[in-house]
Amino acid sequence: MKVLNITVTYSLQNSWILEKDQEYKTTKTYKFRREEDYMSLDVRNAIQSGKTVLGIELGSTRIKAVLIGEDHLPIASGSHDWENKYVNNIWTYSEEDIWKGLQDSYQEMANDVKRRYGVALQTVGAIGFSAMMHGYMTFNQNGQLLVPFRTWRNNITEQASNALTKLFNYQIPQRWSIAHLYQAVLNQEEHVADISFQTTLAGYIHWKLTGQKVLGVGEASGVFPIDLNTKSYNQTMINQFNKQISANNLPWKLEDILPKVLAAGENAGVLTKEGAKLLDVTGELQSGIPLCPPEGDAGTGMVATNSVAKRTGNVSAGTSVFAMVVLEKELSKVYSEIDLVTTPTGNLVAMAHSNNCSSDLNAWVGLFDEFSKVMGMDVDRNKLYGTLYNLGLQGDSDCGGLLAYGYLSGEHITHFEEGRPLFVRSSDSKFNLANFMRVHLFTALGALKIGMDILLKQEEVKLDEILGHGGLFKTQGVGQRIMAAALNVPVSVMETAGEGGAWGIALLASYMMNKADNEALEGYLSNKVFAEKTGITLSPDPKDVVGFEQYMERYTKGLAIQRVAIDSLN
């Protein structure tokens, strides 16, 4: 067994000083039998010297904080589970829940640092914040939230979405921030006249911690259309919007209330004293730490899968599912099913976004979990997921004639303002557990496939493979195989895919701090982050592809059932 004799001195400031090849007049000499123990001292030194980077992402069901070291790999993490609430017909999170969740996830990460390395986290080299994109957060001149946060999940802006899409000749989805703003104008909501600032959840957190009203360009592209030349809001469309609302005699113009747009690599301010206390309630975290531009979960997903270059793509599958494809050229026309956003550097991205993915699937697994407990069986939740998911691979290729819709909320791709989760079968369907699991795995990607078929079949977008990440891919091989069948494209999952958007925004903060002069994000990721990363690629199984196409014929015809359910079940 290899034994490392490491000589260490402990300074008066309680920090470790380590030299690999030099002898010091030492306090103690340690013998390490694992190289990992030696490496932990390197990590401890990096923590205390501020060479780490922190990324925090506020997702739909979990807030995650990830601290990365100089090799860009996670060294500590923390998380907080939360759920949106349906209040007065609005999907929302309260301000109290936002800050409690953020503080809890940070504290859990800081405690992880103490537990692993025996030191308190007092500073880092840089910080980045990310969150679920879109939605509606408006504030008055005193910084007070005017109406409860309206998340991306609210399909309540159809009138505004249609009007703005026609006005701009540019697809404006219902969940985009500008659609929410214009719908509030159309509804003649009283708070509109008092708006001083509008931003997203990521922009809100960043503003409160730095005082800077900014957004990363990828996040901003889900607020208002971006001019690909200026990498900022499209000024022609801003002028069109201002003219459109001029009869309302509002005391602001759109450019006055939107955050400033920044590209990846730009400095977006520093953590203030007030911000440090707000993030770390223990008071240990120091102020003055630089922050990168706040981004959305779509942008951090691209970064976390090294999918920011042209002809690359990634798909995030969790509560919602969306696929991002970096385009070589603009699409031939406007599609209501396809959103156009940008990478964190401002390159054009086609985005097929479905509001619903794994929520109903998770609910069914939860039902089986409840059944096992009633029967006196204590089944590990991960084993339950793995067993049921893998069983789905054994079902008939077309799910045996079964049909399901996991529409917990509305679904814009298939034009539903509300959702009604449904499971439907005919008298001659092959109703067994394998087909039951398979149909719920298939339907989780049904709406997404409609959007992706437009890109891959109608627009003939070239895509060699797509990188997968998110909860659907946690059970090895299953989510990959179903996604490959849906898209008929090889699907890769990297060993780092489980780190998710929190890791992605940490990488963006690291890029801001460590990039060389004129070093592009694509090069930084490929050469310094992913050069030695490995993953698993699955090519589509022809039988699965045929089966998914057969299922989609049933899925498309059955949408009429979903409409009846919405109209009949309140």
- If one compares 211 and 40, the residue with the highest pLDDT of the two is 211
3-state secondary structure 356-369: CCCHHHHHHHHHHH
pLDDT, tens only, 408-426: 989 989 989 899 999 999 9
Q: CA 105 to CA 99: how far, in whole Å?
A: 10
Angle at 201 between CA 330 and CA 349, to 5 degrees: 10
* pLDDT given for residue 535 in this prediction: 82
Strand partners, 148: none
Q: To which H or E segment does residue 227 belong?
A: strand 226-227
Q: CA 316 to CA 500: how far, in whole Å?
A: 9
pLDDT of 1 > 60? The answer is no
Q: To which H or E segment does residue 373 belong?
A: helix 359-374
Parallel, antiparallel, or unpaired for β 232-233 and 260-262? unpaired
Q: CA 531 to CA 515: how far, in whole Å?
A: 16
Q: How confident is the model at residue 310 (pLDDT cuts 50, 70, 90)?
A: confident
Q: To which H or E segment does residue 468 belong?
A: strand 466-469
Mean pLDDT of the chain: 91
Average pLDDT, stretch 115-136?
96
pLDDT, tens only, 85-112: 999 999 999 999 999 999 999 999 999 9
Q: CA 108 to CA 516: how far, in whole Å?
A: 33
pLDDT, tens only, 484-494: 999 999 999 88
Mean pLDDT lowest for which of 6-10, 45-49, 533-537? 6-10
pLDDT of 8 > 60? The answer is no
Amino acid letter, 506: A
DSSP, residue by residue, 55-69: EEEE-SSEEEEEEE-
pLDDT of 113 > 80? The answer is yes
Percent of the chain with pLDDT over 70: 92
pLDDT of 136 > 70? The answer is yes
Helix (H/G/I), strand (E/B), else coil: 353: strand
C-beta neighbour count of 479 within 10 angstroms: 26
pLDDT of 397 > 90? The answer is yes
pLDDT of 10 > 60? The answer is no
Q: How confident is the model at residue 529 (pLDDT cuts 50, 70, 90)?
A: very high
Q: CA 553 to CA 362: how far, in whole Å?
A: 25
Q: How confident is the model at residue 498 (pLDDT cuts 50, 70, 90)?
A: low
* pLDDT given for residue 153 in this prediction: 87
Average pLDDT, stretch 135-160?
96
Would you call 298 exposed, middle or buried from its count of C-beta atoms within 10 A (0-12, 13-18, 19+)? buried
Q: CA 46 to CA 363: how far, in whole Å?
A: 42
pLDDT, tens only, 219-277: 999 999 999 999 999 999 999 999 999 999 999 999 999 999 999 999 999 999 999 99
Q: CA 40 to CA 421: how far, in whole Å?
A: 48
pLDDT, tens only, 276-304: 999 999 999 999 999 999 999 989 989 99
* pLDDT given for residue 499 in this prediction: 63
* pLDDT given for residue 12 in this prediction: 32
Q: CA 506 to CA 380: how far, in whole Å?
A: 32
Q: How confident is the model at residue 25 (pLDDT cuts 50, 70, 90)?
A: very low
